[in-house]
Amino acid sequence: QVQLVESGGGLVQPGGSLRLSCAASGSTFKFYTGGWYRQTPGKERELVANITSGGSTNYADFVKGRFTISSDNAKNTVYLRMNSLKPEDTGVYYCTGKRTLFEVRYWGQGTQVTVSS
């Protein structure tokens, strides 16, 4: 049974940093693509960043220069380093991934990120 489990969320002050981790478990699971979406108040779920198993990345405009996505294929883990956090970054962050291009996308349960003074 495939599971994606996020960790690293929490409360941080504006300008601070957090590092989110997404660990994949289950038989034979390896990320073909991995990524992060977020759900913020009053908005639909939106892409934050994604990465391929080969290391190619892309980012939403609102996080470019602040967030960095990375992965450790040997550990089946995807990370999101978030710097210079703003109150508007507050929301639930969801890990997502695929084992192959044509397979269903898997989702984690979400981790809360709150940026507040």
Check residues 26 and 3 and name the one with the higher pLDDT: 3
Residue 90 CA to residue 75 CA, distance in Å, equals 28
Tell me the per-residue pLDDT of 65-112, one tens digit each, with 9 for 90 and over: 999 999 998 889 999 999 999 999 999 999 999 999 898 999 999 999
Three-state secondary structure readout of 50-66: EEECCCCEEECHHHCCC
Q: What percent of the chain has pLDDT over 90?
A: 79
Instruction: Check residue 35 and give its pLDDT.
Output: 96
